[in-house]
Amino acid sequence: MRFNRAFVLVLEIVLMGFLLLPISAQRLVLINSPADTTIADWTDISHNGSSVAGALYHHYRDRSYPFVWSEREGFRYLTPQGGYTQNLDEAITGRVRGMSGSGVVVGSSGSLAFRWKPGIGMQSLSPFTGAPAAWANRSSRDGNWAVGGDSRGRALIWDENGTPYPIIEGYARDITPDGRVVVGGLSGDAGIGMFRWTAETGLQRLAWGGSATGVSADGNVVVGDGLVGGRAGAVRWTPERGAEVISPPGVGGFASAVSADGRVIVGFAYPGSQKVFRWTESGGYEFLGLTYRHLLPSGTRLDFPTGISGNGRYIVGLAETREGARKFLLDTMVPEPSGWLVLGLGLGLLWKRRRQEVKQRGL
């Protein structure tokens, strides 16, 4: 195969850009709230990392307002009709606990849980019989199923009509996009521990102590915290290996979120100055404050991770800076396996071309 010089030049430029992209695109965004407000909730991030859900507490109004934030459009509040606004007089009030991949926001407003769908609006979700209050933590992708708990200590799942069904004593923390698998924490007579539940198989205890906090899209990776084999810390459960503590010896903490494919986990660690960790199948356990220290302004520490995008690239959470508490969005920019394949093919073509040049020169 022969290469003309223009083609080779373009290929070299593309490959060089690919090699530099992971470094140049890694970045940390520190978010401050608008005047007279505090970000009360900074909870969940969309699959592609384009938007974050939360709630702003307005000091003078003494109310919290659910929002969806993006770098491009800033803070947008939710209207009862399913739209977005920047006028608080048109917005719903409440606290936010989660957002699905399609933008369905769930949380609590007053004593009731709520589910808000783009283009459809807000729906109140009642507690189960006898409980004065309830809250929703997550929803399926289409929003037709939501999970949470009520003030009587029962883990609940709500159907499309907003009817609550108790699962077990405890609280439900996450649900798969298809609404099939629910995970959370047990309490009461069942003891304390991580659980996984489906309508077909019923309740499954995964580990003693702690709670499950997140589940992969297929329901086969569950993360949280608990006690396994005499060790306590962040826990990862799979059907093949069961529950395993992924925290290093001497490090406590819990896993707070997992990517859609189950390969990337983020969580909180203690004791020590480094609080936020990431665990991956390929790289194991690492502290993000060390891995991305080149991105941190002087005097800034990553304190707590609240969510990870479905693709595993973006991480959101709480940070401590010299100016006070801030919320952060971290773009880790990890190339996809297909990207490495393209890079390898390109480098192979260049290597072959160089060999041909050497042969032609008789060297």
Worst-scoring range by mean pLDDT, 62-66, 102-106, 314-318, 333-337?
333-337
Q: What is the largest CA-CA distance in the chain?
A: 89
> In whole numbers, what is the pLDDT of the chain averaged over residues?
89
The total number of residues shown for the chain amounts to: 363
* Whole-number pLDDT of residue 354: 59
pLDDT at 6 over 80: no
Peptide bond into 239 cis (omega under 30): no
Question: Strand locations in 246-353, DSSP E?
Answer: 252-258, 264-270, 276-280, 284-287, 301-308, 314-321, 324-331
pLDDT-derived band of residue 12, with 50, 70 and 90 as boundaries? low
If asked whether residues 169 and 308 sit together in one domain, one would say: yes
* Whole-number pLDDT of residue 190: 72
If asked whether residues 56 and 105 sit together in one domain, one would say: yes
If asked whether residues 48 and 1 sit together in one domain, one would say: no
User: From CA 363, how far away is CA 350, in angstroms rounded?
Assistant: 18
If asked whether residues 63 and 121 sit together in one domain, one would say: yes
User: From CA 194, how far away is CA 155, in angstroms rounded?
Assistant: 12
If asked whether residues 15 and 149 sit together in one domain, one would say: no
* Whole-number pLDDT of residue 16: 52
Q: Give me the number of domains the chain comprises.
A: 2
Q: Rounded to the nearest 10 degrees, how much is the dihedral formed by the CA atoms of 188, 190, 194, 197?
A: -110
Tell me the whole-structure pTM to 2 decimals. 0.85
If asked whether residues 208 and 232 sit together in one domain, one would say: yes
Q: Which domain holds residue 54?
A: 29-332
If asked whether residues 113 and 3 sit together in one domain, one would say: no
If asked whether residues 122 and 6 sit together in one domain, one would say: no
Torsional sign, CA 83, 213, 94, 312: negative
If asked whether residues 3 and 77 sit together in one domain, one would say: no
145-177 per-position pLDDT tens digit: 999 999 999 999 999 999 999 999 999 999 999
pLDDT at 22 over 50: no
If asked whether residues 174 and 196 sit together in one domain, one would say: yes
CATH number at residue 129: 2.130.10.10
pLDDT-derived band of residue 4, with 50, 70 and 90 as boundaries? low
* Whole-number pLDDT of residue 245: 97
